[in-house]
Amino acid sequence: MTEPTDFDSDDFLGDEFDIAPVRLTVDLGALIDNWREMARRSGPAATAAILKADAYGLGLEDCGAALYEAGARDFFVAVMQEGVTLRSYAPDARIYVLSGIWPGQEKQFYEHGLVPVIVSEEQLAFWMAVTAEHGDHPCALQIDTGFNRLGLPLEEAIAFAEDVSRPASFSPVLVMSHLHSGDNPASPLNRTQLESFQRVAVAFEGIPASLSASGGIFLGPDYHFDLTRPGIAVYGAEFVNGMQALKPVAKAEGRILQIREAPSGSTVSYGATHQLSRNSRLAIVSAGYADGYPRSASGSGVPIRAGGTPGAFGFVANTRVPVIGRVTMDLTIFDVTDVPEGDIRAGDYIELFGPNIMVDDVARAAGTIGYELLTSLGLRYERRYIYPDD
């Protein structure tokens, strides 16, 4: 048996980012610029920062701190624990929890100053009992204006607003709803939801109102109300059908483990679903569906590719290179035959998505959307955050 070798820490002077199998670069300067652009487009309305799903997969702590320093003071998270974490990075911000509150969470909401978004009649009754026992605490009300997801039914919400017996300890600081087709400016249902929400805003006169996320902001001032909630636009992905995204924020890369020669006629990856039509050079990259790089982005061998639709592309040495064969758990194969041999070698990195391969292009190749690709990033990425002053 070989004895273990002792290494001095000075023997390892390399940056973990420079040797990681998969790595993610997050440009916080671009994140801030995107948020400020959405704030500009929101006119006089305040502009929140959305940090749910670990800031769309890019890191709640770093993204939250950057947006707070940029001036954001209203934040939305999905669950209570995200709000508890964020509080350390946004000390005097108003933090809304979109899933509302459940019995047993009261202490955390009060101690950390979190604002539950009340999403149902059951939560409303519970929250009123909580404030009656523990004292006034702000909340928000989610109203369903046609999404049929979360929220108080429209007519019940309006009746509640007009109920003179409503306890004084119940103090909503925001009424809100959500557009189901904000990414489609041509949808007449946007106007239908707007008209429904205008009734809500009138019923809750004096309480700030919020309707629009990223796409809704571009529908015009009528949709802005008092607070807008841009999400995916801030993170650099598409948010309105047919409209170019703002600045790319995230760059995901996988390291090339091996470059191998493969003869024409041979097959590639599981199921032998791709047969080479020329002598080829293949880059075997240490990224797969365990890293959130979807199997459905494969070049062949999955149902979504059955109609001949091409799979995803990567980018290396100023060249777009296609995925060939099936994406596997830990590995993806790219055809780098068209990259000059001297321009690429094992140990280099292929961009999976970023400034040269748009996240939404990869998502489309996988039959999904940029939201899912970003929020599916796995735990193995070594991360580097680029701050505005870097």
Residue 6 has pLDDT above 70, yes or no: no
Fold of the 250-386 domain: Lyase, Ornithine Decarboxylase; Chain A, domain 1 (2.40.37)
The rounded mean pLDDT for the chain is 94
Q: How confident is the model at residue 331 (pLDDT cuts 50, 70, 90)?
A: very high
By residue count, the chain amounts to: 390
CATH 3.20.20.10 region(s) of the chain?
A: 42-228
* Residue 308 clears pLDDT 70, i.e. is over it: no
Q: What is the pLDDT of residue 167?
A: 76
**Quick one: pLDDT at residue 4?**
60
Residue 127, C-beta contacts closer than 8 angstroms, at least 6 positions apart: 100, 101, 116, 118, 139, 170
Return the pLDDT at 306: 66
Of the pLDDT bands very low, low, confident and very high (cuts 50, 70, 90), residue 7 is low
pLDDT at 370: 95
Mean pLDDT confidence for 230-240: 97
Residue 168, pLDDT > 80, answer: no
Mean pLDDT score, 309-316: 91
10 pLDDT more than 60: no
Residue ranges matching CATH 2.40.37.10 in the chain: 250-386
Per-residue pLDDT at 300: 84
Q: Which residues are catalytic?
A: 52, 270
Is the sign of the CA dihedral 145, 150, 156, 159 positive or negative?
negative
d(CA 233, CA 290): 26
pLDDT digits (tens, 9 = 90+) for 72-82: 999 999 999 99
Q: How far is CA 223 from the centre of its chain?
A: 22
Higher-scoring residue by pLDDT: 14, 60: 60
Per the model's pLDDT, the better-predicted residue between 389 and 116 turns out to be 116
Whether residue 39 has pLDDT greater than 80:
yes
More confident residue, 118 or 304: 118
d(CA 117, CA 83): 12
Q: Kindly report the three-state secondary structure assignment for every residue of the chain.
A: CCCCCCCCHHHCCCCHHHHCCEEEEEEHHHHHHHHHHHHHHCCCCEECEECHHHHHCCCHHHHHHHHHHCCCCEEEECCHHHHHHHHCCCCCCEEEECCCCCCCCHHHHHHCCEEEEECCHHHHHHHHHHHHHHCCEEEEEEEECCCCCCCEEHHHHHHHHCCCCCCCCEEEEEEECCCCCCCCCCCCHHHHHHHHHHHHHHHCCCCCEECCCHHHHCCCHHHCCCEECCCCCCCCCCCCCCCCCCCCCEEEEEEEEEEEEECCCCEECHHHCEECCCCEEEEEECCCHHHCCCHHHCCCCCHHHCCCCCCCEEEECCEEEEECCCCCCCCEEEECCCCCHHHCCCCCEEEEECCCCCHHHHHHHCCCCHHHHHHCCCCCCEEEEECCCC
Statement: residue 12 has pLDDT above 60? no
- In Å, the largest CA–CA distance within the chain is 81
- Give the class (CATH, top level) of 42-228: alpha beta
pLDDT of residue 204: 94
